[in-house]
A and B are shown apart, each in its own frame.
Chain A
């Protein structure tokens, strides 16, 4: 009897996971420094100049009832493709703790350091992912304020491409070396193999070098080669760092890479906020809209999650006084995230901030709720565990508790049904 019962449970779990494996890749467009939610995805035109600042207008989107910032007209034209979370909250106003919360789903204060969710996905896919490209790639670098690998270790950290995707030649570190062509490289390898007579770890090292030669001269080289893209596409994403990085991300998705982190710095706008936004928001608008539309028309949006946001938002109230002269401060109480693809519905808004955008008015969404939903869509159990070297198995998201009414996985914008135990 017990056996049958177990089998049923097993089958049930299998069904759940196969149902859940909708997304194959995640692109995190990370706006490092903290973008202003009021100027992007949660405008407050009615709150007065002390709040909306220089941006009194809004863009009506192609979805009835959803409005976004006036500097994002392209994204406004495609709101049916993405949903907005307007009630993200973790309460931290410091970069390092906000970043930690947003990237790990853990709350800081514990004794262990959690890995970033990119590293977790990279760990979870370690056996099933067979690509030559690394499992977790940052274009062009990961944030180094905490150890991305956390307690899982270095192996699962992101591969930083380095280089400048917007430049004439995108020199991906280790892949493109303008001074050594194939012939020179082969000669060097020959010299090295004759030179190296010391036995230490030679077998391991030789086989790792062979893997690298395959990586350097195989298909991956072409994946990063943006000359393969028609100029019209490159223009469409915008020739900015962010634009071309998003284009690289799409190419990596096509190559099957499970997690891509596109990180753009410069969003920490304490001073001259609106001047900076005037140039940065059009870049974001162009790049992100092109990415979503491009994925969509290639039939990849269904299996690719796109997330966009930062470590926190910015104060809804403008600091007009010196020394800020029209700046916005760090703000972790309530901010916004954009989610699209990979099983996330489009054209929805989750949660609400209050009139002035200073408090969560409805349906708080914690970082672990967002990350847990991403895990769910990637076929990873958000209540599963990760191995810690000395602490044994730890919950993959320690803030999620199966029996807690606090849990807020985003069932309202995905097809997966909320299991009974969470109701």
Chain B
């Protein structure tokens, strides 16, 4: 009996130890969580505070804080904007007023943590003016406004289905548009006088409904789509969120669900989907569960299981701005109104794919032309590295960086200098080996200390440690 107990204790201990040694360091977790949930780097103060914090629940508390923070909400808004193709001009042509209204609407949904099913219902049953009832922009943002095209997009977004062949589009055949005297205002309305279709709606999965005269036929479809019984609806969102966090879906591509494209880990998908349904489509709770999972807390591969991902375009551009303290200014000349973003606007907060910069284009900003997650291309290219290595734009930012100047003035020793820069750029402290490297680098060429500071920042911004979420 005693031996059995002992063995159990031993076994337990080894498993605990295994997970503990598998867990990434606190500073790594902090950077990873910030980048994943907010698309922003933690400030040096946040780093020091978190690293020194002895509270055993600090990871959970951090995740809660980030999920409710404005930065966190705005970053989720960007993910939504990508798949809903929010853009002033071609091809969505929502125009700035519509874009702003639409973005505000999404932000409010996220702020109030509106359940996923409710949010989708409001989106798909929307009607009215694109300026006054923002969700109606869902139906405005189609170049080809045919029921089939709209239906295909709904299938792609909420069921991950790229090839729908059933006649569910009938439910969207009453949608009509009329313009008003207001510039670019349009009313999306339901033509309830449309005669009944001769055939009944029968979906691939077997569900059938018969639309009634004088009603909004979309309701038939949407209540089926968003019900608990339609498990695929929940699974697709669970998987999409997993994809947003890890860059790879349990079903991958996340918008390509087919018989012959099986989930890599069906157990995991089931567990998360059950959780999502039990919590009534609570997206924040789901995200929290993913962030506290072993996978997210694991060390980087190959030691652990976390696969590093190159930062998205907007995040890299913002990260460079935040470590140098020199921000790009954004504006849009699309009428109407012309948009001038306030100084220090983050690229992740632009909310309009028409607004861009050559840096954002270079790093592969999403053009929001289609609703596919694969639009975002995070592969690293020689041109991107060229920009980091040798562009005068970046060189000048580092040289003129008010942050670097301040660090230089406040750092009497090389150790202080290295530590302060590393905290700012890489969200960790400098190692002894690194400090030796910097000293050698300085001595070889008799570099003045400010020039050394510039080279340190240059090196760190160029390093893969900076360019990746790891």
A pairs with B: yes
Interface set of A (CB-CB < 8 Å, partner B) = 96-97, 100, 108-113, 134, 141, 144-147, 149-151, 153-155, 157, 159-160, 162-163, 171, 173-180, 185, 187-192, 194-196, 198-202, 204-205, 208-209, 211-212, 215-216, 389-390
Known: A113-B367, A191-B455, A212-B390. A198 touches B354 (CB 8 A): no
Can you list 7 A-B contacts with CB-CB less than 8 angstroms, sorted by A residue number?
A: A113-B369, A147-B367, A154-B361, A174-B391, A191-B438, A191-B459, A208-B380
Instruction: Name, among B300, B302, B395, B464, the residue most crowded by chain A CB atoms within 10 Å (CB to CB).
Output: B464
Q: How far is the CB of A224 from chain B (nearest CB, A)?
A: 13
Taking chain A's interface residues, is the majority helix, strand, or loop, or is none over half, making it mixed? loop
A100 to B341, CA, bound (A): 26
Closest 7 CB pairs of A and B: A147-B367, A174-B386, A113-B369, A208-B382, A96-B89, A200-B308, A96-B90
Whether B382 lies near A110 (C-beta < 8 A) is no
Interface set of B (CB-CB < 8 Å, partner A) = 89-91, 93, 143-144, 149, 162, 300, 302, 308, 310, 334, 354, 356-358, 361, 364, 367, 369-370, 372, 374, 377, 380-383, 385-387, 389-393, 395-396, 399, 434, 437-438, 441, 444-445, 455, 458-460, 462-465, 468, 470
Whether A187 lies near B445 (C-beta < 8 A) is yes
A334 to B369, CA, bound (A): 29
Task: Return the contact of B463 from the options A198, A212, A390 (Cβ within 8 A).
Answer: A198
Whether B464 lies near A173 (C-beta < 8 A) is no
Q: How far is the CB of B330 from chain A (nearest CB, A)?
A: 11
Whether B90 lies near A145 (C-beta < 8 A) is yes
Known: A154-B364, A191-B437, A200-B468. A215 touches B386 (CB 8 A): yes
Whether B382 lies near A175 (C-beta < 8 A) is no
Whether A208 lies near B437 (C-beta < 8 A) is no
Whether B445 lies near A192 (C-beta < 8 A) is no
Q: How far is the CB of B210 from chain A (nearest CB, A)?
A: 29
Whether B395 lies near A204 (C-beta < 8 A) is no
Chain A residue contacts of B380, Cβ below 8 A: 201, 204-205, 208
A149 to B334, CA, bound (A): 21
Known: A187-B445, A211-B382. A146 touches B455 (CB 8 A): no
Whether A177 lies near B385 (C-beta < 8 A) is no
Q: How far is the CB of B445 from chain A (nearest CB, A)?
A: 6
Whether B89 lies near A205 (C-beta < 8 A) is no
Q: How far is the CB of B169 from chain A (nearest CB, A)?
A: 14
A134 to B387, CA, bound (A): 14
Chain A residue contacts of B382, Cβ below 8 A: 208-209, 211-212, 215
A185 to B441, CA, bound (A): 12
Q: Which residue of A lies closest to B91 (CB)?
A: A113
Task: Return the contact of B434 from the options A141, A154, A188, A195 (Cβ within 8 A).
Answer: A195
Chain B residue contacts of A176, Cβ below 8 A: 392
Chain B residue contacts of A97, Cβ below 8 A: 90
Q: Which residue of A lies closest to B255 (CB)?
A: A390
Task: Return the contact of A196 from the options B93, B441, B464 (Cβ within 8 A).
Answer: B464
A340 to B334, CA, bound (A): 33
Whether A198 lies near B470 (C-beta < 8 A) is yes
A322 to B454, CA, bound (A): 55
Task: Return the contact of B377 from the options A154, A173, A192, A205 (Cβ within 8 A).
Answer: A154
